[in-house]
Amino acid sequence: MLHEALERQCRRSTIPVDFSRAYWTPPLSPRLAHETEKDQIENRLGLNSLISLTDHDTIEAPLLLRTVAETAKTPISLEWSVPFGGTIFHLGVHNLPSGQACAIMEDLAAYTRNPNDGRLCELLAMLDAFTEVLVVFNHPLWTQKCVGVHRDAQALDKFLTCSVQFLHAFEINATRSAKENNRAAKLAEQYGRSLVSGGDRHGCMASGALNLTAAETFGEFVREIRQKQCSHVLLMPQYSEPVSIRTARTLLDVIRNYPDNPAGFRRWDERIFHPDANGGADRPISSLWKGPPEYVEQILGAVRLLENATVQRVMESLFRRGRVIEMNREIVIDVAGEAVPAEVVSSEALT
């Protein structure tokens, strides 16, 4: 409904609207996102934390975090968009070497702009040569229909034939369904790869999937995955909620205003960006108007009714009825067990 309303409005706009190039950022700044993950691991679980934050095709967030003493050891990581065979795959690239991270990022971005199958193999081999870099196949079975990208089994098979030798693990994604994650687990087993957790959280709630490890540094954790193929995934209680409820809560987080947040993260229209009409840097849509159009606020106001406690109880009752989670036993960890490792790794996406 909102998309149709925006399309009608854009036809009347003096600035050409390009939905394919517009994007949004989450309500949490990198620092707040890091604190959210740390709080869940250290205060809720009582364990030490290793946190890798990723953003789509940029390493700005981890570089920013590394300028602060408290988060100076944050791994330099990103979620790399990989065009291939007429579709797009996403790889989590974690723990880039600090001295070469910016140059590597430029190479990865150049491929995304101008993809070439031969060049992809070169880049993956280059990443694989760094022994403390972890390359994860993110949400491998997401079809991407909701974002207008087509991906079929043939494209997936072709991509894996080309790249699997350089992929160190497949992702159990905390925002995807149990059914999809079970299929991803079988795919990982088929190719002899471990499963690792991925939050892919775009709202304010902490990741629903974590990794338990005895490693004390992220480099040690990477070696556990790459050399020992050893991974223990912990699914948090929020993962047990139906996908529809998790999605609705994320949407509410995205369109909510946060007056106490840092500048640029307070209003929802400050967190949505669009290419500049004159070819300049991308601009928040808040710079294009004095305030959101009334029809947009009316639609968002209707969506915000989902925050009502009564409405939420009805939704939970409807979507929980008769639902049973059937995750593969080998990827579910009982946090109440006696032998609990000393560290918890959170691999969390910002956007």
pLDDT at 150 over 60: no
C-beta neighbour count of 323 within 10 angstroms: 10
pLDDT at 148 over 60: no
- pLDDT one-digit tens code per residue, 50-98: 999 999 999 999 999 999 999 999 999 999 999 998 899 999 999 999 9
- Distance between alpha carbon 344 and the CA centroid of its chain, in Å? 18
- pLDDT one-digit tens code per residue, 184-204: 999 999 999 999 999 877 888
Q: What is the pLDDT of residue 115?
A: 95
Q: What is the pLDDT of residue 17?
A: 63
Q: Specify which residues 283 forms β-bridges with.
A: 274
Half-sphere exposure of 289 (CA within 13 A, CB side): 14
C-beta neighbour count of 120 within 10 angstroms: 19
Q: Which residues are CB-contacts of 33 (< 8 A; sequence separation ≥ 6)?
A: 26, 53, 61, 348, 350
Mean pLDDT of 282-301: 83
pLDDT at 123 over 90: yes
Handedness of CA 220, 222, 225, 231 (dihedral sign): positive
Which domains does the chain carry?
2-20+245-320 (no CATH), 24-242+328-349 (3.20.20)
pLDDT at 33 over 70: yes
- Distance between alpha carbon 324 and the CA centroid of its chain, in Å? 25
Half-sphere exposure of 131 (CA within 13 A, CB side): 5
Assigned token pair, 140: 């491998």
CB-based contact 134:79 (threshold 8 Å): no
CB-based contact 176:183 (threshold 8 Å): no
pTM of the model: 0.83
CA distance between the termini of the chain: 23
Q: Which residues are CB-contacts of 36 (< 8 A; sequence separation ≥ 6)?
A: 28, 204, 205, 206
pLDDT confidence bin for 327, thresholds 50/70/90:
very low
